[in-house]
């Protein structure tokens, strides 16, 4: 697998699947989640509502992943994953690792050859960027997948440098 690190906007990525750092409601929010829903359009929200009416009535649990259409995005699919909120008291690293593993598992099920990831949990969920980058890159490298290209799309210079440093 090739791994790339780019500074940019995940909603502009021409890949098979983009990963959404979603909240458990799957109904949109701020940050990456809000940007994907705004740019992708109502098709994404409609499929998320269907998921909420069915299997994910209580929301998508942290560490899990599920796919929808990408709507108007240049990708084919959006893989929604719910990252854990960072805590000084509780080690939630396994949940963050699961976000990346589960997203790649869903990508494999879809037949996606290329996937773009944001820095899951490193925004509003306050995960320290250096640690989030280490967990993301190490987990992707260690995961068995048929995905040929993983692109980490980082919105800030700070995030981009943290991922490059890993």
Contact, 67 vs 5, CB < 8 A?
Answer: no
Quick count: other Cβ atoms within 10 Å of Cβ 89?
5
**Is beta strand 77-82 parallel, antiparallel or unpaired with respect to 114-117?**
unpaired
33 a catalytic residue: yes
Quick one: which H or E segment has residue 77? strand 77-82
Which one of the listed residues 16, 33, 131, 157 is annotated catalytic? Answer: 33
Is residue 98 packed enough to be buried (19+ CB in 10 Å), middle (13-18) or exposed (0-12)? buried
Which residues form the catalytic set?
A: 33
């Amino acid at each position: 697998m090739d791994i790339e690190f780019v500074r940019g906007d995940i909603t502009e990525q021409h890949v098979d699947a983009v990963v959404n750092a979603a909240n458990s409601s799957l109904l949109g929010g701020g940050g990456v989640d809000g940007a994907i829903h705004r740019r992708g359009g109502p098709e994404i929200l409609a499929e998320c509502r269907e998921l909420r009416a069915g299997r994910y009535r209580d929301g998508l649990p942290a560490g899990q992943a599920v796919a929808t259409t990408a709507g108007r995005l240049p990708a084919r699919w959006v893989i929604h994953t719910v990252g854990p909120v960072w805590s000084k008291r509780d080690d939630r690293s396994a949940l963050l690792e699961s976000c990346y593993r589960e997203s790649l598992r869903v990508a494999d099920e879809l037949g996606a050859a290329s996937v773009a990831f944001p820095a899951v949990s490193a925004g509003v969920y306050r995960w320290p960027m250096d640690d989030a980058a280490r967990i993301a890159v190490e987990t992707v490298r260690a995961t068995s997948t048929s995905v040929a290209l993983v692109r980490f799309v980082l919105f800030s210079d700070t995030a981009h440098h943290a991922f490059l440093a890993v």
